Amino acid sequence: MMPQRVRLQYEAATLHPTAIVGCQVRRVPEGSTERYTRWINSLSPEQLYTQVYTSHGPTVVMPTWFCSRDWFLKVGQFDEGGKGVPEDLLFFYQSLRLGGSVIRVDECLLVYRYHQNAATHSVLEETIWILRVDFLQERVLSQWDSFTIWNAGKQGRKLYRSLNPTNQKKVRAFCDVDENKIKKGFYTYEESKERPKPKIPILHFRDASPPFIVCVKLDMTGGVLEDILLSLKLTEGKDYYHFN
């Protein structure tokens, strides 16, 4: 870590005693997890809260965390379940539940080494998925009367199937840019025990209504997705949340 790390993060934590304080990082080897690193370092203060549901995990990366011992003990320490337990995500979500804040010192204060044997690789993707879906339902979907899932493909349909029955009924439509998906007209939930089986309309994104849960990967479309969201004059954290 950089020589000034403890001082700068301590100063931030003193001002925000119920915060998890992170910082920007430099990855070694250079270029490791390029998209992830760019995400870690460039989220706005608002996005530190709005993007907590994405597959990237905590919006300040755990090796950079700094917080008061009082807050650490109040949140409940780490889950020591061992290999395969995403203890950082569990702690991070619980901190938010208790009203904790998230802050990033915007200086590179940590060299974050990448290696293939890191413990993070032992956590199953499905474990993370379940935690993310539950947190999204708890924090966002419980506040909405209806919403649209942005992506009529594999990830959007998986999210729909993962929702509890109450939130499934709130899905007014899927939306997409893919004409082939739009032409199908509906997604039929074949696994449903309801009769008739639920049929969810598939619309072009310009014909769909917010709020949206966006199930398209960030930073993977050459800026097209981000430009579309801007063109629709949508506000992140109000009109949409990123989930992928």
pLDDT (tens place) for every residue of the chain, 244 residues total: 999 999 999 999 999 999 999 999 999 998 888 999 999 999 999 999 999 999 999 999 999 999 999 999 999 988 877 777 899 999 999 999 999 999 999 999 999 998 766 656 567 889 999 999 999 999 999 999 999 999 999 999 999 999 999 999 999 999 999 999 999 999 999 999 889 999 999 999 999 999 999 999 888 777 889 899 999 999 999 999 999 8
What's residue 121's pLDDT?
57
pTM beyond 0.85: the answer is: yes
How far, in Å, CA of 49 to CA of 71, rounded?
18
What's residue 220's pLDDT?
76
Helices assigned H by DSSP within the chain: 5-15, 34-42, 47-50, 69-75, 87-97, 125-139, 154-162, 165-168, 179-184, 224-231
Domain spans in the chain, listed from the N-terminal domain onward = 5-126, 143-242
What's residue 117's pLDDT?
63
> Quick one: CA torsion of 92, 97, 99, 105, rounded to 10 degrees?
20
How far, in Å, CA of 244 to CA of 242, rounded?
6
What's residue 148's pLDDT?
98
How far, in Å, CA of 69 to CA of 242, rounded?
31
What's residue 4's pLDDT?
98
What is the longest distance spanned by two Cα atoms in the chain?
64
